[in-house]
Amino acid sequence: MGVYRGVPTKPLGSHPLKRAMFDVARLPAERIARWKQVESAFAEPYVGISTDGGVLDGLRPLRDEGFDPGPSVIAARELVGLLSSEDRRLLCYPIDANEWRQWTNAYATWVPHGLPLWETTGEARAAVQHLLQMGLGRTGFDETRACMQLNETLAELYGDHDNLGEWTYRFALFGTPSSTEPWGWQLHGHHVDISFFVVGRQVSLCPVFLGAEPNVADTGRFAGVRAFDDERAQGLAMYRSLTQSQLDDAVLCPSMRGEDLPAHLNHPTEGRLQAGAGQDNLVLAFEGLSARSMSGGQRDQLLALCDVYVRRWPAGPARAKLQEIVEHLDDTWFAFVGTGDEHRPLYYRVHSPVLLIEFDHHKGVFLDNPEPEPFHVHTIVRTPNGGDYGKDLLRLHYENEHAS
């Protein structure tokens, strides 16, 4: 695998994933402790990501965003119809179930929810894939499948098809698929965690965690598959558009080496990522460079960077989301870690009242690089101020139904 310098670390050993949980006792203590913290966060009442602990109301009304829910409804019903009664029980949850929040990019220390795709039939997996196609934009679907396929590449490299692979994911349905009532689905597992909520013709697609280690397959079943080229290129383009004075504000640290980073940008398991699993109520102040201080061309570049992530959404909701971003552009901030060298690792963040994006190059987990490298990528997209999992839309829907 000549694209990257890492080599596989020692496998954990054969231990097939069960419907209950992975044997975490064999994992490093620091990771177990981190995931226990994530697990405890699920018990906290949901608030949403904010800058000061209080969320802003009225940022997004119920509206027609042009999404046609019909094909997704049909695809979801077809999936349910393929399953046994036991598998339907694993698949289906109430619309307001707390399981929405119980995802992780790593091995869970709790009993994960959802239908194990590695145990179900090929026909059911094809139905899940079709449901993903109906709910995501073409870019979102292609990138999701690339991350799943690169997880297979990692399984080949690491020699562990028990715990890694193309289909080592769980899938859940929330609510009853409907063209008018709220419902949704979630795909979650290593490097792929997607929460899709729909009410009528409006969609919420967040949180979305996508990653890859490695981000390019040199050989194997999926040789040639790659991910996150655009995310990286547009982030670097944003960095390079700035003047030195602006970089002085935007760059939180010019180095990605652990010994040079402040503690809050060098988490032992999350790296620089702030808004990962268990961070639904994160309080994160704006940092870096405000878009108010940018030229027209730089603001256009910032929107182009946002579009790389927003085009994962279906077309109508993607246009609506971009309009939200434009409306709050003066309150949008760009932060960066690294040198801006295209061959070196980097981190960046775009943060506004309606959007939080993070891109991070990570150190090795299954590969042996002790410092961040460009071939291991983590990304997260969230909607601050109560918008994750469609929580804001669900609340408005209930309020409107009650008022009528």
Q: Domain for residue 74, yes or no?
A: no
Q: What Cα–Cα distance (Å) separates residue 129 from each residue in 167, 196, 256?
A: 11, 14, 36
Classify residue 370: in a domain, yes or no: yes
Distance CA 177, CA 196 (A): 12
Cis bond before residue 214 (omega within 30° of 0): yes
Integer-rounded Cα radius of gyration of the chain: 20
How far apart are the C-alpha atoms of 84 and 245, rounded to whole Å? 62
Residue 105 has pLDDT above 60, yes or no: yes
Average pLDDT estimate for 247-261:
97
| Average pLDDT value for the chain | 92
Share of the chain above pLDDT 90, in %: 85
Q: Could you tell me if residue 200 is inside a domain?
A: no
Tallying the residues shown for the chain, one arrives at 404
Q: Confidence band (pLDDT; 50, 70, 90) for 34?
A: confident
Task: Tell me which of 12 and 120 has the higher pLDDT.
Answer: 120
Could you give the CA distance from residue 126 to residue 121 in angstroms, rounded to a whole number?
9
| Residue numbers of the domain that contains 280 | 229-390
Q: Give me the number of domains the chain comprises.
A: 1
Amino acid, single-letter form, for residue 27: L
Residue 214 lies inside a defined structural domain of this protein = no
Residue with the larger pLDDT of the pair 131 and 2: 131
The answer to whether residue 253 sits within a structural domain is yes
Residue 55 lies in a domain: no
- Is residue 354 domain-resident? yes
Task: Choose among 356, 360, 361: nearest CA to 373.
Answer: 361
Taking the model in full, what pTM does it have?
0.94
Q: For residue range 200-223, what is the model confidence (pLDDT) as tens digits?
A: 999 999 999 999 999 999 999 999
Structural domain includes residue 383: yes
What tens digit of pLDDT does each residue of 89-104 get?
A: 999 999 999 999 999 9
For 266-287, write each residue's pLDDT tens digit.
998 899 999 999 999 999 999 9
Rounded CA-CA distance 72/85 in Å is: 21
pLDDT band at 402 (very low <50, low <70, confident <90, very high): low
